[in-house]
Amino acid sequence: MQRGLIQDSSQNPQKQQRDRINRVFARAVVVPTVIALALIAVLLLDTLYDTVSVQVVEVTETSGKSFALGQALTADQVIRLELAAQGKSEQEIAAFMSDPDEMRIFRLRNRVELMWATQDGPLRWVVSSLDDTRIKNLSLIEGLRQWNELKQSLNENQQLRLNPWLDYSFLTRDPSRNPISAGLRVALFGTIWLLTMTLLISIPIGVGTAIYLEEYAPKNRLTRFIEVNLRNLAGVPSIVFGLLGLAVFVRGMQLGPTLMAAALTMALLIMPTISIAAREALRSVPDSMRLAAYALGATKWQMISKVVLPATIPGVATGVILAAARAIGEAAPLLMVGAAAYVAFIPRGPLSEYTVLPVQIYLWISANLSEFANTAAAGIVVLLLTLGGLYALAFWVRRKYRVEW
């Protein structure tokens, strides 16, 4: 019996093969997204994992004691116990603790911290000193696996502890060549200063450019040139902006490695981003709004400043926040304009020296000491949390103030 003209394609081996490929491909297109998501997850977990390490330290006479959480609740109480353990009398302790200079020196030389685990048990207050020498710094898994052996091998001057690098005091300590006392305070202040200055410079220029191009610019070659130029500028590697800042601001204007030079450099870097976002926001305002303003007798600038600009605030704000997020994570151009130098003090003004979060992290990664990998990880967690906060803010602004025309 001969078959009909229309064959049952499911019987055709060639068609079966094509269908199989089709099904495989439909699955394959999702794979990269899954890999990307997994990469982000591994990156986050690995960083968090690196913020904890197991240490064996050789302690000095004035350090190395640990106190149970029940004995002391605040760092001051721990200091009191520590002084008592050193054999000081009640009066001496009271005198010591009421003398701000003595306390400042004690805090500079020592670190009082609640450690997750020590050889004496979990959650103990530990007083550690800058003079402690660290014998081992092991990753969490490695350290826990060897915990008992390490504990056995300790002599009386040694201490074993599980050290959490990321805690509140990490944010408040100054930078140091000694990882145990290194902190983010200077970098945090530097980031806040730099971001504020950068935005103060780049928002007026970026938004001004956008208003000119959208509302005023005649359709001529100059306008076209500015537009093309703006787009190309957005594609210039950030390190090239760093070279520009080095030659023009640091050397040419003789600002040196200061916040001002950095802010001018960063402002030029993020200006195109802000400008492009502002142009999109301006474009989304319908012409009927403009015509209505004119019909009420408004001048062009009244129309723009009172009608168009208020309507673009959510769009511009979102763009500015995203540009700020980019600026916060940017390290390369700042390394060129002097953020690399070791800075021990928080900035006092626009002409101060400075360092910022990502540069501090880079310097820690480059330092050849395994514990700086731990402080770098702790710094990265702080940086990512800051960025996460900014992205959440941008998302919220976009959602809450979205204008539907």
Residue 84 near another protein by CB under 8 A = no
Q: Contact 207/319 with Cβ under 8 angstroms?
A: no
For residue 223, give every residue at least 6 positions away whose Cβ sits within 8 Å of its Cβ, in sequence order, or none: 213, 217
Quick note: the x/- pattern for another protein over 156-185, rule CB under 8 A, is: ------------------------------
Distance, in Å, from the CA atom of 65 to the CA atom of 125, rounded to the nearest integer, reads 8
Q: Residue 272 burial by CB count (10 A; 0-12/13-18/19+): exposed, middle or buried?
A: buried
Q: How far is the CB of 81 from another protein (least distance, A)?
A: 37
Q: How far is the CB of 229 from another protein (least distance, A)?
A: 5
Q: How far is the CB of 393 from another protein (least distance, A)?
A: 13
Residue pointed to by tokens 């970098």:
187
Pick from 115, 199, 259, 377: which binds another protein (CB under 8 A)? 377
For residue 277, give every residue at least 6 positions away whose Cβ sits within 8 Å of its Cβ, in sequence order, or none: 315, 316, 318, 319, 320, 322, 323
Q: Which is nearer to another protein, 160 or 246 (CB)?
A: 246
From the list 87-95, 181-189, 311-319, 335-343, the region that binds another protein by CB under 8 A is: 335-343
Q: How far is the CB of 207 from another protein (least distance, A)?
A: 8
Comparing CA positions, the residue from 248, 217, 247, 249 lying closest to residue 230 is 217
Distance, in Å, from the CA atom of 19 to the CA atom of 175, rounded to the nearest integer, reads 62
Q: E strand or H helix at 306, and its extent? A: none
Distance, in Å, from the CA atom of 289 to the CA atom of 307, rounded to the nearest integer, reads 7
Q: Which is nearer to another protein, 95 or 228 (CB)?
A: 228
Q: How far is the CB of 298 from another protein (least distance, A)?
A: 8
Residue 205 near another protein by CB under 8 A = yes
Quick note: the x/- pattern for another protein over 2-21, rule CB under 8 A, is: ----------------xx-x
Pick from 3, 8, 25, 219: which binds another protein (CB under 8 A)? 25
Q: How far is the CB of 85 from another protein (least distance, A)?
A: 38
Pick from 213, 289, 317, 393: which binds another protein (CB under 8 A)? 213
Distance, in Å, from the CA atom of 37 to the CA atom of 281, rounded to the nearest integer, reads 31
Site for another protein in 280-299 (CB under 8 A): 294, 297, 299
Site for another protein in 379-398 (CB under 8 A): 380, 383-384, 387, 391
Residue 272 near another protein by CB under 8 A = yes
Site for another protein in 111-150 (CB under 8 A): none
For residue 314, give every residue at least 6 positions away whose Cβ sits within 8 Å of its Cβ, in sequence order, or none: 281, 397, 398, 400, 401, 402, 403
Q: How far is the CB of 129 from another protein (least distance, A)?
A: 28
Pick from 150, 199, 271, 320: which binds another protein (CB under 8 A)? 271
Quick note: the x/- pattern for another protein over 311-330, rule CB under 8 A, is: --------------x--xxx
Relative orientation angle of helices 370-400 and 185-211, to the nearest 10 degrees: 40
Residue 76 near another protein by CB under 8 A = no
List C-alpha distances in Å: 340 to 353, 360, 366, 371.
10, 8, 11, 20
Q: Which is nearer to another protein, 71 or 232 (CB)?
A: 232
Residue 232 near another protein by CB under 8 A = yes
The DSSP string of 314-334 is HHHHHHHHHHHHHHHH--HHH
